[in-house]
Homo-oligomer: A and B are copies of this chain.
Amino acid sequence: MHKRPKIVILGAGYGGMMTATRLQKANAHHDAEITLVNKHNYHYQTTWLHEPAAGTLHHDRTRMRIDSVIDTKKIHFIKDAVSEIKTDEQKVILEGGELEYDYLVIGLGSEPETFGIPGVEEHAFAIRSVNSVRHIREHIEYKFASYNSQEEKHDEDLTFIVAGAGFTGIEFVGELSKRVPELCEEYDIDRDKVKIYSVEAAPTALPGFDDELVNYAMNLLESRGVEFLINTPIKEVKEDGVLLNNGEEIKASTVVWTTGVRGNAVIEKSGFEAMRGRIKVEKDLRAPGFDNIFVIGDCALIINEEINRPYPPTAQIAIQQSYTCSNNIKALIAGKEKLEEFTPDIKGTVASLGGKEAIGLVGSTKLYGHSASAMKKVIDNRYLFLLGGMPLVLKKGKLNFF
């Protein structure tokens, strides 16, 4: 009996988790030894994190234990952080050990992009993990809770700056603008004292999105008291607020940084050729020059040839890649040479705006308000269904449609 090949999957985000699930369903563990590595013993839904960050959804609703979805008798699970990939030795260095692989799937996800702006890492929060978002939620709540005990009022404690009006920024501002009145009620604070700024360097919020939908979103958020500073690059984040390029300062004790993401630092550290931490993968999702390393999710760069620009990294693409990736690994193990090519199939984009509000484009159909919000929930639930079937939808799904 020949030795079973080792498949190692790094990261249990959308891509890694779905790849593991697909391989398990296909009984690939009969032909290979499969190991999934993740920093935490839970998987979380990155695209939901703006909600627990604002405190409008409990963070446990966005995560699930990995062993509640994966059968760990079929797929080994190792809770550890990845330090480096040694491609010449076909080894992964973990913080607490190392792992050999025959086939590697890199699904390590993203990191916030700071664009080298000083102070972002030291003074701004990022919406990136369960740990980071409950930190944000409690930070915000603490600012409200401590305000009335202050003898001299620090009004900057009630000013919230969200840097970046892309999808994550707008979705977070949407939740925050729904949460603020509740916090004012809870802590006896006048709503007028609270300021929410959405600051964006580009000439519009949601750059690249449909104008009419952008207007709808901005009007709605303004009606909830959000102030937009569009066309307003930030020069520096300070301990007590931000300095804008135009020389103005806004004092704020809370700055949340949402100006986009880059690939994982492990990519560069491991010597892969990369652009901002993302590997421009072959059509079969392998890293150029490696016939046994697949890259999926936020670390994979795919060009949209229609406009000759990279697709933005989304959960949707990561999930689709997991299908191609798991099929290709099975093909390689079976000794086939012809691999599947990956083509993204963008079904649509919906951004939630807090409460029952959202905007979306599905094909060329524009959605607003409650129908967009319901569509967003359909998308969220569909992923849960793909991952863990109806039981997972019932356990973690968003079932409060109306």
A residues sitting closer than 8 Å to B (CB atoms) are 131-132, 134-135, 137-139, 141-142, 144-146, 148-149, 186-188
Q: What are 7 A-to-B residue pairs whose CB atoms are below 8 Å?
A: A132-B149, A134-B186, A134-B187, A135-B146, A135-B148, A135-B149, A141-B141
Distance in Å: Cβ of A306 to nearest Cβ of chain B? 40
Residues of B within 8 A of A148 (CB): 131, 135
Residues of B within 8 A of A138 (CB): 138, 141-142, 144-146
Residues of B within 8 A of A135 (CB): 145-146, 148-149
Q: Which of B137, B146, B149, B187 contacts A145 (CB under 8 A)? A: B137
- Chain B CB count within 10 A is highest, among A132, A142, A144, A187, for A142
Residues of B within 8 A of A139 (CB): 142, 145-146
Residues of B within 8 A of A142 (CB): 138-139, 141-142
Residue in B closest to A141 when the chains form the complex, CB atoms: B138
**Given A135-B145, A135-B146, 15 more pairs with CB closer than 8 A:** A131-B148, A131-B149, A131-B188, A134-B186, A134-B187, A135-B148, A135-B149, A138-B141, A138-B145, A138-B146, A139-B142, A139-B145, A141-B141, A141-B142, A142-B142
Residue in B closest to A139 when the chains form the complex, CB atoms: B142
Residues of B within 8 A of A141 (CB): 138, 141-142
Sorted nearest first, the 8 A-B pairs with minimum C-beta distance are: A138-B145, A131-B148, A138-B142, A142-B142, A135-B149, A131-B149, A134-B145, A135-B146
Residues of B within 8 A of A146 (CB): 135, 138-139
Alpha-carbon gap, A135 to B132, bound state (A):
21
Alpha-carbon gap, A138 to B149, bound state (A):
12
Residues of B within 8 A of A137 (CB): 145
Distance in Å: Cβ of A86 to nearest Cβ of chain B? 24
Residues of B within 8 A of A134 (CB): 145, 186-187
Residue in B closest to A126 when the chains form the complex, CB atoms: B149
